Amino acid sequence: MAFLTVSSPHAHGPLDTATVMRLVLLSTLPGVFALSYFFGFGTIINILWASALALGMEAAVLKVRKRPVGFYLNDGSALVTAVLLGIALPPASPWWLIAVGILFAIVFAKHLYGGMGYNPFNPAMVGYVVLLISFPVQMTSWLAPAGSFDGSLLGPIDAVMRVFSLGQVDAVTMATPLDVLKQNDSLLIKDLWADSTQFGSLAGVGWEWANVGFLAGGLYLLYRRVFTWHAPVSMLVALFVMSALFYDGGSSASGGSPMFHLFSGATMLGAFFIVTDPVTSAVSNKGRIIYGACIGLLIYLIRAWGNYPDAVAFAVLLMNFAAPLLDHYTQPRTYGHKTTPRKGEGE
């Protein structure tokens, strides 16, 4: 047995890409479980179909670009993109909708910009926004959550049949809580919640638990130091502050309570799985705080006064634009130097 004598400082083995991606996939499980519990098997079928397409397209593009196919497929980044898109799409979306989304995510947003590590925009969010703009009808037909209607959820076979349009499957769709709040301006929130069955104790039935699930997964990733706390925390704080400022306590015109916003729509998924994307976010800690806060701000602005009920994808894409600028102005001070000298400043 040989003992290596290594003197300090000891290098800490950093997580490699494949490990990080596996951890991320693992951490989506609680959220996916919650979504499936409340909305049926649709999300799981979404994820499976999206993953198969993503791996296929990734392999095809890598082949065309003459890159090592096995190496890049093994890093799992395509899989993460597929899983995130599969979660974000309405459960049991039509197969072609998912295919178009994955096409834009993997081919356009990722590989046309140079592939893994070079994409300025988050691929899953590009796919989502292309779909949201192109197919508003399909993208806003969320299934109704369990307990809010009389009937049963989609089983696995029904979900497959619905995704691939193999036959008539009855499924109840319902406006999401964010949508209901957006469409109603003249009620008291108390009455609105009493009228609509899709509201739960904190936010929407199912939605609150899905958000709790993604929060749990995100906290695990934070514990494993996959990302730092700066971006997600500042995003959630900004969203909380904005909704607290503009919430008047009761009318449906004012946009819902802070808790409602934190546990509705894609808030937690965005905060811990999208905003933390190492490729498309700002790099320095200070930059990440600004980056996250601006996303939180934008999410509230678009939710409250924009045209779309949820806004995580738009907010993230807008701030992806700004990330290089943030990096430029928040370069950390080099140890031993007073400030970072910039071109054209100082001597």
Q: How far is the CB of 106 from other proteins (least distance, A)?
A: 15
Q: How far is the CB of 130 from other proteins (least distance, A)?
A: 5
Nearer to other proteins, 149 or 164 (CB): 164
Nearer to other proteins, 130 or 297 (CB): 130
Radius of gyration, CA atoms only, the chain: 21
Q: How far is the CB of 135 from other proteins (least distance, A)?
A: 6
- Length of the chain, in residues: 347
Query: Which residues are at the interface with other proteins (CB under 8 A)?
Result: 100, 108, 112, 130, 133-135, 138
Nearer to other proteins, 18 or 112 (CB): 112
Nearer to other proteins, 250 or 306 (CB): 306
Cβ neighbour number for residue 223 with a 10 Å cutoff: 8
Q: How far is the CB of 317 from other proteins (least distance, A)?
A: 12
Nearer to other proteins, 152 or 165 (CB): 165
Q: How far is the CB of 134 from other proteins (least distance, A)?
A: 4
Residue 72 phi, psi dihedral angles, 5° rounding: -75, -30
Report d(CA 288, CA 232) in Å as an integer: 9
Q: How far is the CB of 47 from other proteins (least distance, A)?
A: 22
On whether the CB atoms of residues 213 and 32 are closer than 8 A, the answer is yes
Nearer to other proteins, 94 or 250 (CB): 94
Report d(CA 268, CA 215) in Å as an integer: 6
Long-range contacts of 20-26 (CB under 8 A, 24+ apart): 20/226, 21/75, 21/76, 21/77, 21/79, 21/80, 22/76, 23/221, 23/224, 23/226, 24/80, 24/221, 24/226, 24/273, 25/76, 25/79, 25/80, 25/83, 26/217
Amino acid letter for position 296: G
**156: cis peptide before it, omega within 30°?**
no
